[in-house]
């Protein structure tokens, strides 16, 4: 379960940003997670709920997840298509000369603070 390791890095980064900005309480963290990133949202949320209790700065912080849809580009026909639905083979021309444009990201989008 690499979700716990991911949560540790998020907590570390949020703590650093909070410290730099003299923030005493974080109320929410929004993550953008790619559809094919391999991160399981339910596991990530469970790990978040466990880890946040260990940090006074974040003990009440909500985790918000926004999914980034996976999109693949075909170099043969120059079209984009949904990766999960069609995989590596282009549904328009049948080419395997494709690559992932987006959908593998993992980003901290927003940190909300309490007054």
Instruction: State the binding site for Ni(2+).
Output: 2
Biggest alpha carbon distance in the chain? Answer: 55
The runs of H, that is alpha helices, within 27-101 are: 41-51, 83-86
The sign of the CA dihedral 78, 84, 88, 89 is negative
Show binding-site residues.
Answer: 2, 74, 77, 90, 93
Show binding-site residues for Zn(2+).
Answer: 74, 77, 90, 93
């Amino acid at each position: 379960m690499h979700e716990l390791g991911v949560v540790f890095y998020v907590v570390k980064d949020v703590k650093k940003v909070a410290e730099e900005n003299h923030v005493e309480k974080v109320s929410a963290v929004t993550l953008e997670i790619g559809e094919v990133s391999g991160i399981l949202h339910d596991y990530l949320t469970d790990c978040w709920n466990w880890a946040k209790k260990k940090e006074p700065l974040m003990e009440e912080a909500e985790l918000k997840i926004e999914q980034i849809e996976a999109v693949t580009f075909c170099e043969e026909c120059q079209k984009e298509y949904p990766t999960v639905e069609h995989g590596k083979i282009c549904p328009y021309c049948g080419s395997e000369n494709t690559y992932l444009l987006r959908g593998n990201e993992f980003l901290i989008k927003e940190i909300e603070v309490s007054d």
